[in-house]
Amino acid sequence: MPQSPVPVFETADEISAETSVVVILQTAQAGFGPRAAALDTETGGALSRACSDATVLAESGACIDLITPRAVPARRVIVLALGKADAVTALSLACAGGALAAHLEAKGECAATLVLDPVSGVELPGAEILARVALGMRLRRYRFDMRNRRAGAGADRTLRVQLVGAGGQELNAALARINAIADGVEYARTLVNLPPNHLHPDNFHDHLEPLREAGIDVEILDTARLRELGMNAILAVGSGSVRPPRVAVLRYRGKGAPAQPMAFVGKGVCFDSGGLCIKRGEQMFDMKADMGGAAAVVGLLIALARQGSPVHVVGVLGIAENMPSGTALKPRDIITTASGQTVEVFDTDAEGRLILADCLYYAASRFNPSVVVDLATLTYSVMRGLGSVFAGLFSTDDAIASRMIAAGEKVGERFWQLPLDRAYDEGLQSPFADIRHHAKDMEDGDAPYAAAFLRHFTEDRPWVHLDIAGKELTDKDQPLGREGATAFGVQMLEEWVRTSRVAN
């Protein structure tokens, strides 16, 4: 598997004489703190002259880059603008860190010392400020690359960063958390970025080794076990592929965690051709990423386990390929799901909700969870309805939904709550089965019907359905990541789990 170089962060009390690149973290306030002021003196006032235009420092993420005189030990001093003090947030700091990482890479720099002097007007403590900038640097530096012949192939691209200006114990704790979050995000991105001939139902379990290393129990339910459990919906989805489906069950219980777990269910379709209702060629191109929900669950558990979070979490991943063949699922098939409910199939390209039906029921009935959350790249309609800004959120519990939306706003993964109403059940009625799995002629408004269908398999548990279709990939570089997989949902859920634990 391609390995992305992970930035190395170290704490220091002061700027080392060997430092070649010094980065001053500066809000749009008048004057410098003591360390920056000393550097300004060494450079003959060059820093203060470069920062004399207050509008530059008000632009969070702007990098003011100075090559210093020979008399100054550091050959380069960069002022990283953090914006106006009252507008500084965890997200703006991470984005500023991402901009800094991109700037350092463009300049060919592989080491830097970040310096934070005391700042006024910012609510976050110094350790959190530095850690959030470091998080942005890690996320922006991640890369997935399978090219063997390219300039610099095999070279060490590790970025080494010293952090100066916050208490060691507090900063180390904050760094431990952000590194755990970044570990989860980066691994989820790698899973989605892997091509479908490298990640599929036959080898998915091999790619779960980082979970085992983090102390997470991994159980794989094979075809025989799925049949025993009556999980005929996921078996039907995978019936057209030579690679049979599996379900991965992930369990993590931190020290002091409650007995009742939270359950997270992820759609893991490693490639979605649409089955017999086959997609057009251009629609199929990105369908290696149809397992983005499962990847996000993996990333979340890594993030929680590696920081030793005192929570009890279960993950259930429905892993399959949706392929056309003589044994494939057909429209008008009727399937008896694990819950005992019969489902009439309408569109074989709506395979995700069939997989989730069995996995949601399994999670809800086996583990007695306090809440069930599923993530899935599920419907085109949620993309049409919400565009590129928001992902869709449906929930039976408005309080949970509100906390998730707030968590998403904090980390830049935005969700909009959509209606979950019994009226949508009307479109799911079948004359031959308990329920139809797709509303007839409702392609443009399909997302709420999909959510209404899934609710029938949650055993009346508090439940949240996250339709993240369109958020799993980006076709251009973003402030916190390059072109490719985004791992959308990992940061929001980590923040929601953490704040829910603190609130309780």
Tell me what pLDDT residue 184 has: 98
Tell me what pLDDT residue 427 has: 94
Bridge partner residues of 116 (DSSP): 25
Residues 6+ apart with CB under 8 A from 335: 232, 233, 236, 342, 343, 345, 354
Residue 177 C-beta-side C-alpha neighbours within 13 Å: 17
Tell me what pLDDT residue 286 has: 96
Of 77, 158, 82, give the one whose Cα is nearest residue 124: 82
10 Å Cβ neighbour count for 387? 9
Bridge partner residues of 25 (DSSP): 80, 116
Residue spans of beta strands (DSSP E) within 63-221: 63-67, 76-81, 111-116, 160-164, 217-221
Amino acid at 426: E
Quote the CA–CA distance of 92 and 125 in Å, as a whole number.
15
Tokens 């592989």, located at residue: 110
Tell me what pLDDT residue 156 has: 73
Helix (H, G, I), strand (E, B) or coil at 290: coil
CA-atom Rg of the chain in angstroms: 24
Active site includes 353?
yes
Of 189, 105, 281, 200, give the one whose Cα is nearest residue 484: 189
Tell me what pLDDT residue 138 has: 97
Tell me what pLDDT residue 503 has: 53
Quote the CA–CA distance of 179 and 9 in Å, as a whole number.
9
Of 374, 328, 349, give the one whose Cα is nearest residue 443: 349
The number of angstroms, rounded, from the C-alpha of 471 to the middle of its chain's C-alpha atoms is 10
Quote the CA–CA distance of 131 and 178 in Å, as a whole number.
7
Among the listed residues 76, 353, 455, 471, the single catalytic one is 353
10 Å Cβ neighbour count for 267? 31
Quote the CA–CA distance of 7 and 55 in Å, as a whole number.
31
Quote the CA–CA distance of 359 and 339 in Å, as a whole number.
10
The number of angstroms, rounded, from the C-alpha of 365 to the middle of its chain's C-alpha atoms is 27
Q: Retrieve residue 197's tokens.
A: 């001939």
Tell me what pLDDT residue 166 has: 86
In DSSP notation, 9-22 reads EEEESS--TT-SEE
Quote the CA–CA distance of 278 and 60 in Å, as a whole number.
46
Among the listed residues 75, 243, 279, 414, the single catalytic one is 279
Per-residue pLDDT of the chain (504 residues; tens, 9 = 90+): 776 778 899 999 999 888 999 999 999 977 899 999 999 999 999 999 999 888 889 999 999 999 999 889 999 999 999 999 999 999 999 999 999 999 999 999 999 999 999 988 999 999 999 999 999 999 999 999 888 777 666 667 789 999 999 878 999 999 999 999 999 999 999 999 999 999 999 999 999 999 999 999 999 999 999 999 999 999 999 999 999 999 999 999 999 999 999 999 999 999 999 999 999 989 999 999 999 999 999 999 999 999 999 999 999 999 999 999 999 999 999 999 999 999 999 999 999 999 999 999 999 999 999 999 999 999 999 999 999 999 999 999 999 999 999 999 999 999 999 999 999 999 999 999 999 999 987 666 899 999 999 999 999 999 999 999 999 999 999 999 999 999 999 999 999 999 987 555
Tell me what pLDDT residue 131 has: 97
Q: Retrieve residue 56's tokens.
A: 């530059």
Tell me what pLDDT residue 504 has: 52
In terms of pTM, does the model score above 0.85?
yes
Quote the CA–CA distance of 408 and 424 in Å, as a whole number.
27
Q: Retrieve residue 33's tokens.
A: 């703190």
Tell me what pLDDT residue 155 has: 67
Active site includes 279?
yes
